[in-house]
Amino acid sequence: MIYLRSFDLASELSETEFFCSFPPKLEMLCYDRENAYPFKIFPPKYFSRAEFEPITLFYGGNGSGKSTLLNVIAGKLGLSRSADFNETPLFGDYLSLCSYDAAEIPEGSRIITSDDVFDYLLDLRAVNRGVEARRQELFAEYERYRDKNVHFQMRTMAEYDELKVRNEARKKTKSAFVSPRLTAREARTRSNGESAFYYFTEHIKKNALYLLDEPENSLSPIMQRELAAFLVDSARFFGCQLIISTHSPFLLAMNGAKVYDLDATPACEKDWQELEGVKMYKELFNKK
């Protein structure tokens, strides 16, 4: 499915006209023509237009503009997002110089960044700390209920539930008693990489546009390959369109994906095997 057909970045001419108009904001905020993010990033790459397929990938080294490009597209389309990003006071001015061609963008479309996943992992850590504290409470409760020196006699119906719990504790092992009473037990059983993979599988729903900023972070090669398969299936069978910035050869090799090389001058579409980073992997593995 293709919801976003193309996106036009601010042209070199429109950027020049913006600065020649001497916007008061530039002087008030101590910006100059050479330091006005997100201006001045894409004209030197001769890159002003991207055309999209069901899966489109932006490749490039650190500082190549991959994340900026996704943030610009997300900002112009008004996509939902969770984590903050590097939005300068000139960001809105830059967006006003951009345009796009799209069908109706589905509800639920969003951008997912590495910060979203990182915040999720921190939340899981907090949950796990709470789970561990509750686990210790239940251990103490189990031991207290099994203590034969503690006499309990039900006097009212209000104490019936406690009687049932005490009887249960005396019949079960500690593990069998504690485990059903814990919440979020599965969170403890996943590594960071597994939790990150789970985040994508939970948040990418059918029939929507998703912008993913380096989703391979925290993932092993095996998990990157599984993520690639999940993304291909999402586009092929579940009506998703995916626009992704990545370094991962596993994602770059996804069947049918269009790849833009932002390290090239001019930035252009390339076969994934022609990318410099992929060639470096190949040279490494071919070494004796």
Q: What is the pLDDT of residue 186?
A: 46
Report pTM: 0.75
Q: What is the pLDDT of residue 47?
A: 95
Q: What is the pLDDT of residue 9?
A: 97
CA dist 250 and 219 (Å) reads 11
For residue 244, the surrounding DSSP H or E stretch is: strand 241-246
Structure tokens at 71: 């943030």
Q: What is the pLDDT of residue 172?
A: 77
Model confidence pLDDT, tens digit, residues 79-119: 988 777 777 788 999 999 999 999 899 999 999 988 887 77
Q: What is the pLDDT of residue 187?
A: 46
Q: What is the pLDDT of residue 28?
A: 63
CA dist 4 and 76 (Å) reads 12
Structure tokens at 285: 């593995």
Walking along the chain (288 residues) 10 residues at a time, the average pLDDT comes out as: 96 89 66 72 94 96 91 94 77 94 93 80 56 66 71 65 74 71 55 77 92 90 93 95 95 94 94 91 82
Q: What is the DSSP letter of 209?
A: E
Q: All domains of the chain, ordered by start, with CATH?
A: 4-116+191-286 (3.40.50), 122-189 (no CATH)
DSSP string, 72-103: HHHHHHT-B--S-----TTHHHHHHT-EEEES
Model confidence pLDDT, tens digit, residues 213-245: 999 988 889 999 999 999 999 999 999 999 999
Beta bridge partners of 203: none
